[in-house]
Amino acid sequence: MKDDRLYLIHISECIERIQKYIKKGKEDFILDQMTQDAVVRNLQTLAESTKRLSENFKSSHPEIDWSGIAGFRNVAVHDYLGIDPLRIWGIVEKDVPDLKKKITPLLS
């Protein structure tokens, strides 16, 4: 569990950075390539951290869509040029806050 906790902290830090980067809203995000890059990089890092969580931990928390997170990582890493900023916005607007709600209690 010790390693899992470190990865959870890392995931939480990525979420905080993402939410900080998108504070100016959707329009600024869509127009700012640097912000998009920063957000995508943190999503990749977040997803990579979830891959490193133990299988026991992940199976103990089925309320989190681990395979969906891993799927995003695969798209982001292997098809970077095909990433749609609107799709990324949807993820950071809906999925990231939802993940934060589920991860935060696990850090207690």
- Residue 22: pLDDT over 90: yes
Indicate which residue of 5, 17, 61, 78 is catalytic: 78
Catalytic site includes residue 78: yes
Task: Give the pLDDT of residue 71.
Answer: 76
* Per-residue CA distances from 17 to 57, 59, 78, 83 (Å): 24, 27, 23, 20
Average pLDDT over residues 56-81: 80
Average pLDDT over residues 87-93: 92
Indicate which residue of 5, 17, 73, 87 is catalytic: 73
Task: Give the pLDDT of residue 11.
Answer: 97
Identify the weakest region by mean pLDDT among 57-61, 82-86, 88-92: 82-86
Q: Which CATH code is given to the segment(s) 4-106?
A: 1.20.120
Catalytic site includes residue 73: yes
The dihedral over CA atoms of 95, 97, 103, 107, expressed in degrees to the nearest 10, equals 160
> Which pTM does this prediction carry?
0.89
